A and B are shown apart, each in its own frame.
Chain A
């Protein structure tokens, strides 16, 4: 069967190519039009408009450069397209006097690509001590700063919101990539006998149930909101009032010539963020054993996953004295120290083991 030239053309070459990335361009096949003065007519044949609130499109076209590449008129905007924003492309597919056609498009679908969401909240346990010091919130995308305490709330079993539970800082505690936020309970509420503790009482009371909520209206830096409220429910248990005691840790030692995980069982929940920098393993030549740390069993177990198989020999687990549990007690000090109670003063504690 004969295929007409036109049909063949329409099957093999798309007329309009829309961008899939923010730095992409919009391309219109102009082989049917022939020569085109881009400076004079580029805009007339191909232009892009921004959708403002609702369905209304701006009367100002997005500005950029027009070039000709093979059979295509190419429009590259001066500034990258915004992810998830709706644009309208207006084209003429034949001569200058023909009618415009319109087609909306989005670059990088908001829903699929980078939908803002809470990935995890630490501590992950549902039973938390009365003197809990901090929560960590992990997001998959950098969030808008300066509004965390507008969106994060502590609610008790009766539905009362405790507006003074958390410390308000001039600068919120964000990781460099803007994806991890640390929130501290007001230490004045935790420390016994301090004025806010006496006036307002502790934020958390043993035996009670609480909800931590993160509102769905919080936006990431791209302006997309979390859209769903995230809730963490927990019950408050007895306060931690002891130092971390390294000598009482249960250690599950690996077997020689294996890549077994080395596990350390703590008697409490450990600050998961400090684990990576505050514990290391040295071999008998005082060389650092390569590998990485993870937490499990609601951060009561800390695990070392070695890069290579274990060799026979002596090893030492070195725990920096600044390692903290989730109430801020480290190896030397308690956050809420009683008057006259003595601190120890060590740099690090060492637990030897051999394989």
Chain B
């Protein structure tokens, strides 16, 4: 079918409540909406644990682990099955794949040619040949720092997505000078989008910033209005009233907190003992559990509220604001979503073995015992 020819890459995933899967395609500069609304509810609760999932997905796609990159994960709101966006192969020969993990932990390549897909093209995207800047912490750039600098800015076109009341919100960068943008478009797609430039005060850098993209975000009703809660790298937390995202506005986000150095990955809403919470993962620190109640009436800060100069993690002011508590986690979560009322499903880098595993963890205690050996792991003679 011709539609799959338009799909060049599959990156960020976001489900609507009805089961439409939105997928960011940075290479073609589009969002694809894949209709999975006919999937039905499965068992109320199930656990999924698939170890060495990268090797297993590679086998299903007829290749080996080194030729596979897992890009994002999302749980179907009805079936509870886990969808993973995958890149198979490298460079010009890379192909996109969508893989489903069912309730039994079985893997299924989704044949996109059999599904109904609509596509929205994004505008003002960064050129493919513009690159990330080169910087490092040592005397000379390392191999990995050089590799990072070869990354096309185009791959930051679509960084995070949120679906809210018939509209899709997409964060990323554009081809403009103040390039951090928040796009807003209706679904079903009609080809139209508004592109707002977002500026925010970055407490750690002591700067107003407008280039770095929002890494993760979601909409909540805060102080009586719908607001985007957005997290940035190193790691401010801001609020943006949705009403301000109109036309092609320049919007000043309200900085209310800073989680400390690091890069947020996912922001997952869940309930803990009846209270609304956010679970925010980060590629450089433990996840945070943030009560939504703390975001109400939060003090909005600007440059005037701080002494001049950068503030790193060890500064007494940091972390700052109503950013909740950090929590023990099993290894490192690379991508996470809510599996059911009580559990997350997470793509985890194992702390001991380094393997890539899909694991289910409890929201209140997101941990797997295989990573530690403590008092209770040593049997007594009388046990």
Contacts and interface: CB of A to CB of B under 8 A. Distances in A.
Interface of A: 48-50, 52-53, 58-65, 77-82, 85, 87, 142, 144-146, 150, 170-171, 178, 221, 223
Contact of A63 (B61, B88, B90, B92): B61
A178 B109 CA distance: 31
> Which of B62, B63, B147 is most buried by chain A, counting CB atoms within 10 A of its CB?
B62
A62 B57 CA distance: 9
Nearest to A52: B64
A58 B56 CA distance: 7
B55 A170 contact: no
9 contacts: A48-B62, A50-B63, A61-B60, A63-B60, A78-B62, A78-B111, A79-B61, A82-B63, A221-B90
B194 interface: no
Contact of B109 (A53, A78, A144, A145): A78
Nearest to B133: A170
A65 B111 CA distance: 9
Contacts of A87: 62
Contacts of A223: 66-67
B304 to A, nearest CB: 39
B146 interface: yes
A302 B124 CA distance: 47
Contacts, number: 78
A50 B64 CA distance: 7
A60 B134 contact: no
Contacts of A61: 59-60
B91 interface: yes
A62 B66 contact: no
B67 A60 contact: no
B212 interface: no
B131 interface: yes
B251 interface: no
A80 B134 CA distance: 36
B70 to A, nearest CB: 15
Given A60-B56, A146-B147, A171 B131 contact: yes
A59 B58 CA distance: 11
B375 interface: no
- The 8 A-B pairs with the shortest beta carbon distances in the complex, nearest first, are A58-B59, A60-B59, A62-B62, A63-B109, A50-B59, A77-B62, A63-B60, A60-B60
A161 to B, nearest CB: 17
B147 A79 contact: no
B26 to A, nearest CB: 19
Given A53-B64, A221-B90, 16 more contacts: A48-B62, A49-B59, A50-B59, A52-B55, A59-B59, A60-B56, A62-B59, A63-B108, A65-B111, A85-B64, A146-B147, A150-B143, A171-B150, A221-B91, A221-B92, A223-B66
Contacts of A85: 63-64
Contact of A78 (B58, B61, B64, B65): B61
Interface in B1-57: 55-56
> Which of B61, B65, B108, B149 is most buried by chain A, counting CB atoms within 10 A of its CB?
B61
Contacts of B108: 63
B107 interface: yes
A60 B56 CA distance: 6
A82 B59 contact: no
B324 to A, nearest CB: 39
A50 B90 CA distance: 18
Contacts of B67: 82, 223
Given A50-B64, A62-B61, A82-B67, A170 B88 contact: no
B318 interface: no
B84 to A, nearest CB: 14
A53 B66 CA distance: 11
B106 to A, nearest CB: 9
A85 B93 CA distance: 16
B97 interface: yes
B95 interface: yes
Contacts of A144: 90
Interface in B89-140: 90-93, 95, 97, 107-109, 111, 131, 134
Contacts of A142: 91-92
B150 A170 contact: yes
B64 A146 contact: no
Given A52-B59, A62-B59, A79 B95 contact: yes
B296 to A, nearest CB: 46
A146 B148 CA distance: 11
B93 A221 contact: yes
A60 B107 contact: yes
Contacts of B61: 62-63, 78-79
Contact of B62 (A50, A53, A145, A171): A50
Contact of A146 (B60, B93, B150): B150
Nearest to A172: B150
Contacts of B55: 52, 58
Contacts of B60: 60-63
Nearest to B66: A223
Interface string B259-286: 0000000000000000000000000000
Nearest to A22: B62
A48 B91 CA distance: 26
A81 B88 CA distance: 12
B62 A170 contact: no
Contacts of B64: 50, 52-53, 82, 85
Nearest to A168: B146
A85 B58 CA distance: 13
Interface string B128-170: 0001001000000001001101100000000000000000000
A52 B95 CA distance: 20
Contact of A170 (B90, B111, B143, B149): B149
A105 to B, nearest CB: 12
Contacts of B131: 170-171
B177 to A, nearest CB: 21
A50 B93 contact: no
Given A50-B62, A63-B60, A79 B107 contact: no
Nearest to A144: B90
Contacts of B59: 49-50, 52, 58-62
A152 to B, nearest CB: 15
A53 B146 CA distance: 29
A79 B63 contact: yes
A48 B65 CA distance: 17
A146 B146 contact: yes
Contacts of A145: 91, 150
A253 B97 CA distance: 60
Contacts of A50: 58-59, 62-64
